[in-house]
Amino acid sequence: MPNIIAEKTGIYPTHVSTTLAQLSKMNIVVCLTPKLKKGKLYDLTKEGRSILSSI
């Protein structure tokens, strides 16, 4: 959830949402609940998991 990421990192929620949208376009994350206006859930894609394991 973007709001939880914002709380944990101190980053503005709008910046988190923008970043998640960009990562989604890059096929790094996928939104599991795209129809929700608030409280969207995201997960890493296979490519995202590969990137995470390499860093």
Number of separate domains in the chain: 1
Instruction: State the DSSP H helix or E strand holding residue 5, giving kind and residue range, or none if neither.
Output: helix 2-9
What separation in angstroms does the CA of 5 have from each of 11, 18, 42?
8, 12, 11
> With b meaning 16 or more CB within 10 Å and e meaning fewer, what string describes 5-14?
bbeeeeeeee
- pLDDT at residue 1 greater than cutoff 80: no
Q: What is the pLDDT of residues 7-42, one digit of tens each?
A: 999 999 899 999 999 999 999 999 999 999 888 899
What is the reported pTM? Answer: 0.81
Can you give the residue range of the structural domain that contains 8?
2-54
